[in-house]
Each structure stands twice: as structure tokens, then as C-alpha cells.
Structure 1
Amino acid sequence: MQRIPNAVRTATSSELNTDVVIIGGGLAGLISALELARAGHAVTLVERKTYPFHKVCGEYVSNEVRPYLQTLGIDPTALRAATINRFQVSAPSGRSLYAPLDLGGFGISRYTLDHELYQLGKAAGVQFLLNKQVDDVLVTKDLFIVSTSDRSTGETQTVNSRIVLGAFGKRTKLDKTLDRAFMRQPSPYIGVKYHIKTDFPTDLIALHNFADGYCGMSAIEDDKYCLCYLTTRSNLRQYGTIPAMERAVLCQNPQLKAVFENSEFLYEKPEVINEISFSPKQAVENHILMTGDSAGLITPFCGNGMAMAIHGAKLASGLASRFLKNQLTRLELEQRYQREWSAQFARRLWIGRTVQRLFGKAWLSEITVQALGVCTPALRGIMQQTHGTPIAV
């Protein structure tokens, strides 16, 4: 039996047997669960929260996954998603460039999309363990033993499965328990998200740069907009509070100043996540198949994380189903998943990290926007390199 380093076992009050445990109920976890349940497997999904809930996310979805989502029963039009086909990038001075989005996409909140997938998962027979966290994972040759606890009552439960998928997001305690390499390198980034109502084109996704960060903005359903930005902890420490930092730093960009001064903010307080890491990750850790942000996080500049999570979930669930049907050995499963995941996403993630270095610093952002203005095809080329081809359905 292999023990995950630093894990703490707890006494259990109940035990459950299943084919698959999925840790995390975001996009990657929900789609993996839905696919595996519809393939005839017993699926248990463990999620720390209770649906519906908000997540720090840009909430733009590339059309590369739209036909696939429709085969699952998700109709963006019926969910009132916004149609997006243009891109804007601005330097800290407010100087802007515009370009068409070749594939285009749609804007929809995670609150709405995840809840819709949750309902489909329940109908397909997925067993959801909500408001629970995973405390421990033990791995034997043929069995995973997953220990969970209720976040409200502390009641514990053990779930036994043949396979585990990790879809627990950008950065969690479980990453530390697994002793994943990226967790050993502190990250300076924090993410902040609001929903707002404002006067802004519904077909445009914008990326506004400011000192040590950038802010994405695009329409979602019901005449609302997602406003989500990445900045550094040092920016926040310098000004003490998020509102003070926004006034002192973000609003130096005239584009953002107009948004903050002329919009209705719909959250009492923003959604915030700390220490976001864009360092490379392994798609397989301790025999767990990682998917979504757990496998690799694309930079916000590329605006394609939701599509990658969806695509990765399809890949992981397809191979996992073949393993459960005894068509692949565990070694074949893990090697194929790592290889195919890298073939699909490694270059896109590398390009995203490379492009991110051109933005964030005020002077460098100004030079980059000016250079891209002289050579507009270069901007379109960057966007094309960070988007995939439509998923075959």
C-alpha cells in the first residue's frame, strides 16, 4: 500500500464502494463524471461546496468545445450565454487594439454552467458528496482508498474505487498532501472576480493591463458581465485592501477607471483566490489522473481555461472508461493520458506563459501593445496558438 506523503488518516463512520472517485466538482470534474456515468460506470464526485456557487474564472468559453457541450445536453443559447467574437487588449495608458476572434466563443457564468452540469450528472446517476473535503488518499496496486470529511459536521467517510481523477482546481491542500512540485515554489499571484452590470459591447472580450497585472472583462448571461483580474500579493500588501488597490493601481488604466466608476457591482464582496501558479504540472500524480486546472493552468491572457478543462475532461474520462472495461492496464492508462494530454495542451500552456511575460509591467505592456498595433496579424497569431481545434463529436 502506498501512502500519500503528509496525509492524515481519520476514523471513518461509513464506507462506500464505487468505480471512480472524482475529487472536485468544477467543469473538469463534472464533465468527467457525466461521461463516465453515461458509459455505465459507478461514479462518486466529492466537492467542497454546494451547488450553485461562484468561482474565480474569466467565464469565456471558446467555440472549440461548443458542439461537444451540445452533445452532453448543454445549449449555451438556451442558457442565455453571450455571443463573443471580438477581442480588445489595452496598455496601462488605455491605448487599445482590437482583433476578431477566429473561432469566437460565448460568455456564461460558472454559477450557471456548473449547476446545469450538476443537474445532468444527477440525472445520469452520479453520486455527489457535497460540502465534503478529501483528507487522505491511499493507493494500493488495484484500489484507491479516499477518506473524506463533512465540512460542517466533521463526519467522515471512506470511498473505495478502482480509479481517481483529480479535478480540484488551481491550488488546494491536497496538492500539498501530494507533495506536488509546483507547491514548493510560492506564487506571487492572486485572482479577484466580480459580476457587474455596465455599458459595454456584449460581443467583445477585453483584457486591460495595469501595473503588475491585467483584468479581463466580457458579457455573460442575463445582461451581466464578468470582471476578473490577476495581480500580485505585493500590490495588495502595499495598499492594504482590495478596493484601495483597485483605486490606486487598476484605475490608472482609463479603460478600467471607467468600468469601476460607472458599473453596478453585484457581489457584496469579490471572489478571491491566492497563490495562483502557472508553473508546469504533471498530468498524472500518485496514479491520479489530473484534469482541468489540476493538470495545468493557462494564463488569463489566453482566456481559454474553460475550454481546456472541458477538452481535458473528455480525454481523461474516455481513457478511464477503457481502463474500467479492462481494455487498458493501469500503466497503459497513465502513459497514454500523460502523452495525449501533453500533445493537446503543453504547447498552449507554454505559449501562454511566454506571452504573459510581455504584459503586467507597465512599460513592457505599452511597448508590446504598440508593437502589436504595428503588426496586427501577430496578435491574431498568438490567439490562434492558444486555442485548439474543435473537439470531434
Structure 2
Amino acid sequence: MTNPIAAPETSTELYDCAIIGGGVAGLTLALQLARAGRRVVLFEKETYPFHRVCGEYISMENYDFLCRIGVPLAEMDLPVMTRFTVSSPTGEALHHKLDIGGLGLTRYELDQLLARLAAEHGATICQGTRVTDVAFTDEQFTISTAGGATYRARLACGAWGKHANLDSKLHRPFLEPSREGRQFVAVKRHLQLDNFPAATVEMHNFRDGYCGLSPVPGGLTNCSYISDVRNLRAHGNSVAEMERQVLMQNPLLRPYLEEAHRTGDSPIVISQITFRERSTVDAHVLMLGDAAGTIAPLAGNGMSMGMNASFLLNGLLLEFLDGRISRAELEQQYTRAWRQLLSFRITAGRLIHQVFGQPWLTTAGVRVLKRLPFMTDFILKLTHGQPY
């Protein structure tokens, strides 16, 4: 697959919308706007294709949406997940069905595909381009890049993920020292496992963290985990040592990580992750994906919620561009709709996130849920949405 066409070094064109961040939220928004004939420019600091720290599980709630925007899911021979396993740090496990289920698809493949589709529909994709500033004056935005180029747009959307330099530039409230809380580190690798159960998502707890495993194409298993950063610091900032001393205390998780260590698999690591509440609009920039509210893995999955937000925002952007609503109405309606659609799922994910990684709580929780399967159904429904 070839890379999408790179953008020019600068532009005098007034775009309808500039999107900063080329993950699934930003890319699906760019693709929808481009399919509607709108002039859209997207900035991604990396160059496609590349790997991201991500669980790579897509809830089936997104299936119809992805097909409508041109992703040929039926032709991609993707693993389908219909079962769920969760374990406590001691290895006590619960097995349950997934009513809605999901697909496994790597970000390496999905992001590249979405970028190519958006470019084919006329979107300008600026990959390898870091945005350094976004300013709003006279009813339009000026976007500045590290290379010295500038772009103008009527609308600007922030899809830059969990943290970026632009959060500080926009003086976003969640960065205030008074809101400081726990910080986490996230790690991802792909494993070649011969014994991983088919059609299953597994979630294994360890002290102050949890690890998810799920199949992706190519016979691989995505292994992604999140840990309180204190675990890493306590073991000399060594991921391998933290895994040996903390994660491998869970007997169900241990064989998977031992296999990773035997094969010398190199993980991707990101740090400084927080789960503080964020705003959906700052300085007239409309936020989506993790930029609108860092999504705990236990909220269902960030990919699904990012795409869902892009679908919601796309309709409102088109109303604004058609002159049917004002900028103030756009911002108010998006904030209200985002909260109604996604805020509850993010809050539920944060609450479960606080329980997971607590040894006695998760052990007790697994024992209770094994006796009350309807409660497991209820919790799974909290973390999954409806097709749209």
C-alpha cells in the first residue's frame, strides 16, 4: 500500500476544516468530510504506516459505519471475538460471552487504509507534519507547523490523542496543577502465540494495572497493558523487569509475557497518561477522541468511541458549513451531544479502571460476577455502544 499524497509545504487555500491528529478519530472525520465534498486538511506528525499503542479491538457497533465510509471489512478476513475472560492478580478467572463482540485489526493497517481513502476523496493529508500552534482570529484558524508552513481553515478539530504540546498552547483546564493525579504508562506488543484461545478477548489484572490480549490478523495476538507509573519507577524504569516482578505474578498472564521475553519482542511504550476530565471545546477548537477525554481501555475501546465521536461531529460541522447553525450553536450542540453519547461510557470506564489493578477488589469482583452473570452482562453493556 502506498502512502497518501503528501501535502504542499504551505497553502493559501482556505480549508473548510483542519484536523490535527491522524488517528482513527481524525481520519474518519476527514474521510466523511471529504466524501461530502468539503475541503479538509489533516496533520499527522508521524508517517504512515506506523504502530500505535492500542488494544486494536473494534467493537461491532462500528461495523456498518466503517463499511459506509469505504472500509472493506468483509474482504479483510479479520478475527472476530465473541468471548471474554477477566482474571484477578491471583489468576482467578471469569469467562463470559460478548453479545456484540468485536474485530481485531492493527492500527498499522487501519490508519494507513483510512488515510489512503481520505486522500482518494480529496482530503489533503499532511503526514510527517507537527503542528506547533493553532490560532483563531476573524472567524478563521491559522495553523502553524514545525516546518514554518501555515494553513487557514474555517474550522479546527483536535484529534491529537492523550497529550500534545497544543494542550499547553491552548491552556486547557485539565493541565492545571490542582487537577494532577495518578500517571500511567502504556505498553503494546504483538505476540506469536500458538495457544491463545480463538475468538476471545482476555483482560488480566496485576497490581496497579491490567493487560488486554486479543487476536489481530496474521496469526498474531495484541498484548497491551496499562500500569501505574510507580510500578515502572520501582523497577529501574525497566519494562522487562516490571513485567517479571509485577505482571507475571498473575499466573494466567505469565506464559504470554514469558513467550514475549523468549522471542525478544520489542514493545512500544508511552507514558504520562492521565484520566482527568477534559473539555470538548477549547479556544473554538473542537476535540474528539482521547483529546476530548482520555478513554480508559475499560470504557469499551478508544477506537470505537473516537469513530463514534467523528460521526457525531461530522453532521454538526456540515450544518455549520452550510450556514444552518452558528459557531456558538455548533460548539454548544457538540458539547451537549458528546456528553449524552460518550460521557457516561468514559465515566464508567474510569470507575472500572479504578477498581482494576486493586488485588482484593478484583478478586472479590470476579467471584461475585461468576455467581451473578447478569451483572457481567450489565457491565459489558456499559462499555459498548449501539450501531450508528
Q: Which category of TM-score, normalised to the shorter sequence, fits these structures?
A: over 0.9
1:297 shift after superposition: 2.5
Distance in 1 of aligned mates of 2:292 and 2:131: 18
Partner of 2:5: none
Q: What does 1:81-160 align with in structure 2 at a 5 Å threshold?
A: 81-149=78-146, 155-160=147-152
Change (3 A) 1:26 1:266: farther
Change (3 A) 1:263 1:22: same
Partner of 1:172: 164
Q: Would you say 1:195 and 2:187 are equivalent positions?
A: no
User: What letter matches 1:233 in structure 2?
Assistant: V
- Indicate if the aligned counterparts of 1:302 and 1:383 stay in contact, CA closer than 8 A: no
Q: What does 1:284-323 align with in structure 2 at a 5 Å threshold?
A: 284-323=281-320
1:186 shift after superposition: 4.9
Identity %: 39
Q: Would you say 1:213 and 2:209 are equivalent positions?
A: yes
Change (3 A) 1:265 1:282: farther
1:16 shift after superposition: 4.5
SS at match of 2:189: strand
Distance in 1 of aligned mates of 2:190 and 2:73: 19
Q: Which moved more, 1:215-224 or 1:179-188?
A: 179-188
- Indicate if the aligned counterparts of 1:147 and 1:157 stay in contact, CA closer than 8 A: yes
Partner of 1:4: none
Distance in 2 of aligned mates of 1:359 and 1:13: 47
Distance in 2 of aligned mates of 1:135 and 1:38: 28
Consecutive unaligned residues of structure 2, counting only runs of 5 or more, are 1-8
Distance in 2 of aligned mates of 1:371 and 1:105: 25
Partner of 1:368: 365
- Indicate if the aligned counterparts of 2:183 and 2:229 stay in contact, CA closer than 8 A: yes
Q: Would you say 1:332 and 2:320 are equivalent positions?
A: no
Q: Would you say 1:237 and 2:233 are equivalent positions?
A: yes
Change (3 A) 1:63 1:208: same
SS at match of 2:387: coil
Distance in 1 of aligned mates of 2:341 and 2:262: 37
1:225 shift after superposition: 1.0
- Indicate if the aligned counterparts of 1:182 and 1:281 stay in contact, CA closer than 8 A: yes
- How many residues align? The count is 375
1:80 alignment partner, one of 77, 82, 86: 77
Consecutive unaligned residues of structure 1, counting only runs of 5 or more, are 1-11, 150-154
Give deviations 1:88-140, integer Å, cap 9, x for gaps.
00001111101111111111111111111111011001101111111111111
Give deviations 1:4-25, integer Å, cap 9, x for gaps.
xxxxxxxx97655311110000
Distance in 1 of aligned mates of 2:174 and 2:190: 30
1:254 alignment partner, one of 251, 264, 271: 251
Give deviations 1:22-50, integer Å, cap 9, x for gaps.
00000011010011111111111011000
- Indicate if the aligned counterparts of 1:206 and 1:216 stay in contact, CA closer than 8 A: yes
TM-score, scaled relative to structure 1: 0.92
Distance in 2 of aligned mates of 1:218 and 1:109: 11
Distance in 2 of aligned mates of 1:252 and 1:234: 17
Distance in 2 of aligned mates of 1:30 and 1:256: 34
Distance in 1 of aligned mates of 2:140 and 2:64: 35
Change (3 A) 1:237 1:175: same
Q: Which moved more, 1:342-351 or 1:180-189?
A: 180-189
- Indicate if the aligned counterparts of 2:189 and 2:265 stay in contact, CA closer than 8 A: no
User: What letter matches 2:279 in structure 1?
Assistant: Q
SS at match of 1:297: coil
TM-score, scaled relative to structure 2: 0.93
Partner of 1:44: 41
Partner of 1:389: 386
SS at match of 1:255: coil
Q: Would you say 1:27 and 2:19 are equivalent positions?
A: no
- Indicate if the aligned counterparts of 2:300 and 2:384 stay in contact, CA closer than 8 A: no
SS at match of 1:156: coil
Distance in 1 of aligned mates of 2:123 and 2:131: 18
User: What letter matches 2:95 in structure 1?
Assistant: Y
Distance in 2 of aligned mates of 1:265 and 1:165: 43
1:264 shift after superposition: 7.8
